[in-house]
Amino acid sequence: MVNIGIIGLGLMGGSIAKALKKYDIAEKIYGFTKSKTTAKEIKKLNLVDEVLSLEDLKKKSDLIILAIPVDSILDMMNNLKDISSTTSIIDFGSTKSIIVENIPQSIRKNFIAAHPMTGNEKFGPKAAMSDLYEGTTIVFCDLEDNDEYHIKKVYKIFQKIGMRIIRMNSKEHDIHACYMSHLPHLISFSLANTVMSHEDPKSIIALAAGGFKDMSRVAKSSPDMWTDIFRQNKNNLLSSLNLFEEHVQKIKLMLENDEYEKMNIWMEKANSLHKIL
C-alpha cells in the first residue's frame, strides 16, 4: 500500500484514481490541479482523498502520476527535481522521445516514461471511468535508465489494475503511436472540417450514420491537448501523412479511370488489417 499523488484529474488522471480505489491499491490518493474550479469538481466527484498543493503532494506521495498534456509534463519536470529518491514518477504522455530527453538527470532513475494505450474523446473530471484501464496495454519506455526499485513499484500497481505491460524504445514508440493514434486523430479532425465546410448542420444531423459517426468521433477530442501531441511528434506525423496522401492519390486515380476491380483488391487488402487486430 502506497500513497499516490495524481497531477491532472481529467479523463486519464480521474480514471486512474477510480481504478486505484476500485482495486484498493493505494493507502491514500492525493490530487493536484491549478484550477480552483476543477479542484471543487474533483472534491464533489470524490475522485481523490485530498486535493493538495504541489509541495504537499510531493512530500506525501510514494508515486506521482503525471496525467497532464505533454507540454505540461515538460513544464512540470523542474518542479519535481527535489523529490525523495524513493518517490517514483510516471507520466501518461502520448509522446515519449521529447519527454525522455528532457527528464532532469537528478530524477532520471525515478521517472518512468509510460503511455497507457486507452482513452476516448471525452475530457475533464466528469469523464473519469473506473474501468478505462482494465484489459488495456501500457507501454514503458527506456527502462534501462530507471532504478529497479521504481520499475517494480509501477509494475505491481498496473498489473493489479489488469493492464498488459510492454517495454519499448521511446523513438520506436513515437513512430507506432503516430500510426495507431496520432494520424487517425488528424484524419478525424480533417474529415469533420471537410464535412462542416460542405454540408449544412441540418443535413449532418439528418443523414449522419454509423460510418461518419465512428470516423468523426475522436474529432471531439481536446484541441489544446492534440496540438501539443502533434507538435511533439511532428516529424513522424509528417512522414505518416505523406504515406496516407499516396493512398488517397491511388484511390483517386482508380475512381478517375473507372478501375473498380483494382479498387476492390485495394479494399480487400485493407480488410486484412482486421485479421491482425
pLDDT digits (tens, 9 = 90+) for 129-154: 999 999 999 999 999 999 999 999 99
Average pLDDT in the 46-56 region? 95
For residues 40 and 16, is the Cβ–Cβ distance under 8 A? no
For residues 165 and 189, is the Cβ–Cβ distance under 8 A? no
Adjacent-strand bridge partners of 63:
4, 88
Average pLDDT in the 262-266 region? 94
Number of Cβ atoms within 10 Å of the Cβ of 100? 21
pLDDT at 277: 67
pLDDT at 204: 77
Average pLDDT in the 188-213 region? 83
What average pLDDT is seen over the chain? 93
Average pLDDT in the 36-63 region? 94
Residue with cell 505518416: 240
Looking at domain 173-276, its CATH class is mainly alpha
The answer to whether residue 261 scores a pLDDT higher than 90 is yes
Residue 150 CB-half CA count within 13 A: 25
User: What are the residue ranges of CATH 1.10.3660.10 in the chain?
Assistant: 173-276
The answer to whether residue 208 scores a pLDDT higher than 80 is no
User: What are the residue ranges of CATH 3.40.50.720 in the chain?
Assistant: 2-168
The answer to whether residue 58 scores a pLDDT higher than 80 is yes
pLDDT at 203: 79
Average pLDDT in the 149-166 region? 96
The answer to whether residue 39 scores a pLDDT higher than 70 is yes
CATH 3.30.70.100 fits 2-168, yes or no: no
Question: Please, which pLDDT band fits residue 200 given cuts at 50, 70 and 90?
Answer: confident
Q: What percent of the chain has pLDDT over 70?
A: 100
Long-range contacts of 242-250, Cβ-Cβ distance < 8 Å, separation of 24 or more: 244/183, 244/187
Average pLDDT in the 44-69 region? 96
The answer to whether residue 206 scores a pLDDT higher than 80 is no
Q: What is the pLDDT of residues 220-257, one digit of tens each?
A: 888 989 999 999 999 999 999 999 999 999 999 999 99
Average pLDDT in the 61-90 region? 96
The answer to whether residue 201 scores a pLDDT higher than 90 is no
pLDDT at 62: 97
- Mind giving me the DSSP string for 69-82? -HHHHHHHGGGGTT
